[in-house]
Amino acid sequence: MHTPDQSEVLIVGAGPVGLALALTLADSGLTVTVVDARPTGSVASDPRTLALAHGSRITLERLGVWDALPTTPIERIHVSRQGCFGRTVLDAHDQGVPALGYVTPAGALGAALLEALERTSTRLLAATEVVSRTAMPEHVEVLLRTSGSADLRRHSSRLVACAEGGLDAGDPGIVERDYGQHALIADVTVRSGHRNRAYERFLPGGPLALLPHGQGHALVHAAAATQADELLGLDDDAYLDHLQRALGARVELTAIGPRTRFPLRLRYRRSPVAPRTVWLGNAAQTLHPVAGQGFNLALRDVQELARQLGDTPPDPGARTLLDTYAARRHLDRSATIRFTDGLLRLYGSPPALLDPLRSLGLVTLDALPPLRGFLSRRMMFGARAWP
Ligand SMILES: Cc1cc2nc3c(=O)[nH]c(=O)nc-3n(C[C@H](O)[C@H](O)[C@H](O)COP(=O)(O)OP(=O)(O)OC[C@H]3O[C@@H](n4cnc5c(N)ncnc54)[C@H](O)[C@@H]3O)c2cc1C
């Protein structure tokens, strides 16, 4: 094995979160290396569509990638529950903002971040997998393997930021709740056009969201895992018919594109930091997409980490720095996890006993503008309404 390669910060994973961190740190003066197991550019093929909060827009503008993104503003969100009275509407106009959020393809976001990073001097190693990490008192020893080679290379880093996109089950430091749901995603078109409206409809099997996207809507349809099998087996007309019955008369669906499936569960680390290590994005917490919070929360984490790294040289892996980061992110992180999980517990589960309460919740929300304002700001900025 060769002598170890070195950097002050090693970022594991060049998904949107790892790339956003690398770009945020590009002018920090720190030496940063990014490694990803996949070939370069794979991030552009992510089929998901993301709802970005207003706060994320501000951050992406600062990073210089916003203008490169195809985005569709969300001006209204219509929230309802199948088979129950009560509904509420969140409106950008009421909140005094141009949009409650923006819809963009995750692949386009990844491509824009990558392109911007390639214009900096940050080192990016594609097709390179992190095989192991061992935290020492002064550094982390990392073993890397390049795709197609059996050789292992050593890399030494003061801090490892893990943005590898997932958490392994079974670790005692991880909390897990399996919703038993899968998300089907697809592009759909509706007869009237989207008019910048999003729909969130709670069905007995899971929530269904339609996000305005390009000329049509992006569908995120959560369903029980067994039902997802059946739904994937339907031809387009039969599936459209199923969706139309679930949505009622509020939109008229006309066509659907190819469907892709994602298993859904909540998994999060009790602590996002460990000696000389920080976890970010889906590697820190994997959330149900019901409230579209995963990437938005990750971007707020990235900003705080970069602030701490900028404020406290010379050791980027210092325990005090990581503890301060975790403490400063605790409120937003735990509130976002609870908010997402709470929505599913309240609206996503069957017990009929709760139905009047759940309908009352939507009616109350509709009747109380300050509560709607709170919910809208939460979706836009996170727990601290931080822009
Ligand atoms: C259906 C669905 C809809 C969603 N909608 C929204 C939304 O509307 N709004 C929102 O904010 N969020 C949403 N999310 C969440 C959002 O997609 C995630 O938060 C985000 O994509 C996570 O990005 P990431 O960079 O953490 O992970 P990933 O995109 O998974 O990237 C991880 C990277 O790490 C690399 N990697 C893994 N292991 C290694 C290793 N050992 N060595 C080197 N590299 C490695 C992988 O190759 C990959 O490139 C949604 C999620 C789903 C499933």
**DSSP symbol at 85:** S
Domain membership flag for residue 277: yes
Closest C-alpha to ligand 1, atom 51: 289
Domain membership flag for residue 211: no
Domain membership flag for residue 155: yes
- Res 350: pLDDT: 52
DSSP 365-377: HHH-HHHHHHHHH
Residues within 6 Å of ligand 1 by CB: 12-18, 35-38, 48, 50-51, 106, 129-130, 163-165, 183, 185, 220, 262, 281-283, 289, 292-296, 298
Q: 46 near 70, Cβ under 8 Å?
A: no
Pick from 11, 19, 164 the residue to mutate for probing ligand 1's pocket: most ligand atoms within 8 Å of its CB: 164
Of ligand 1's listed atoms, the one at least distance from the Cα of 131 is 41
Amino acid at 378: R
Report the CATH number that the domain containing residue 155 is assigned in CATH. Answer: 3.50.50.60
- Res 379: pLDDT: 63
Containing structural domain, residue 271: 5-61+106-172+266-341
Q: 50 near 218, Cβ under 8 Å?
A: no
Domain membership flag for residue 292: yes
Closest C-alpha to ligand 1, atom 39: 164
Separation CA 76–CA 216 (nearest Å): 15
Domain membership flag for residue 26: yes
- Res 386: pLDDT: 41
Greatest alpha-carbon pair distance for the chain in Å reads 67
Number of domains in the chain: 1
Pick from 10, 50, 114, 344 the residue to mutate for probing ligand 1's pocket: most ligand atoms within 8 Å of its CB: 50
Of ligand 1's listed atoms, the one at least distance from the Cα of 299 is 11
Walking along the chain (387 residues) 10 residues at a time, the average pLDDT comes out as 81 98 96 97 94 93 97 91 72 87 96 98 97 97 95 96 91 89 95 91 88 94 92 96 91 95 93 98 93 93 96 87 97 91 69 51 55 63 52
Domain membership flag for residue 304: yes
- Res 85: pLDDT: 57
Separation CA 52–CA 16 (nearest Å): 13
Nearest to 303 by CA among 222, 384, 203: 384
